[in-house]
C-alpha cells in the first residue's frame, strides 16, 4: 500500500514538473505577431445577487418586447436581493421564446437568431441587471 502511495506521489510530482517546464515554452511560441480580434472584449463575471428593482425593470423590458414568460412572471418585492439565477433564467427563457417566434424571419433581419428589436430588448434587460452571461 505504501509503495502505491509513493509511486502515485512520484508520478504526480513528475507530471507537475513537466507541466511547469513545458508551459512557459509553449506560451512564448507565436504570441508576438498574433492578430488581435476587434470584437473580443473582457467579459466580467455575473454578480451573485441583483436588486429587485433591477430585476423588475428587466422583466418589464422583456414583457414590453413581447415575452410571454416575462409577462407571466411575478415582480419581486419584499426582498433586499435576489439570486442572479432569477435574472439569468428570465433572460434565457425570453431568448428562447424570441428565437422561436422569429425563426421564419429572413437572415438579414435577425441577429443571434432573433429579430433585432428582440435582441436589443434582451441585451437592455441584461444590462439593467448587470448580467453579462446567461
pLDDT score for 45 = 82
pLDDT score for 46 = 86
Show the cell assigned to 98. 424570441
pLDDT score for 7 = 55
* DSSP-derived secondary structure letter, 103: T
Task: Give the DSSP H or E segment for 49.
Answer: strand 49-50
Query: pTM to 2 decimals?
Result: 0.67
Calculated CA dihedral for residues 9, 14, 17, 22, nearest 10 degrees: -140
The closest of 126, 49, 74 to 95, measured between CA atoms, is 126
* DSSP-derived secondary structure letter, 29: T
Show the cell assigned to 55. 430585476
How is the chain split into domains, by residue range?
1-34, 49-129
Q: What is the mean pLDDT of each run of 10 residues along the chain (134 residues)?
A: 54 50 46 49 78 97 97 94 95 97 96 96 97 89
SS3 3: helix
SS3 35: coil
Residue 20 CA to residue 42 CA, distance in Å, equals: 27
SS3 111: strand
Amino acid at each position: 500500500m505504501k509503495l502505491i502511495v509513493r509511486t502515485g506521489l512520484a508520478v504526480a510530482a513528475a507530471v507537475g514538473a513537466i507541466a511547469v517546464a513545458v508551459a512557459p515554452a509553449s506560451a512564448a511560441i507565436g504570441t508576438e505577431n498574433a492578430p488581435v480580434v476587434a470584437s473580443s472584449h473582457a467579459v466580467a463575471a455575473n454578480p451573485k445577487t441583483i436588486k429587485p428593482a433591477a430585476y423588475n425593470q428587466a422583466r418589464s423590458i422583456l414583457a414590453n418586447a413581447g415575452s410571454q414568460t416575462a409577462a407571466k412572471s411575478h415582480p419581486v418585492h419584499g426582498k433586499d436581493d435576489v439570486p442572479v439565477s432569477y435574472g439569468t433564467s428570465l433572460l434565457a427563457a425570453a431568448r428562447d421564446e424570441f428565437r422561436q417566434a422569429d425563426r421564419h424571419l429572413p437572415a438579414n433581419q435577425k441577429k443571434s437568431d432573433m429579430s433585432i428589436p428582440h435582441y436589443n430588448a434582451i441585451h437592455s434587460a441584461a444590462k439593467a441587471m448587470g448580467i453579462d452571461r446567461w
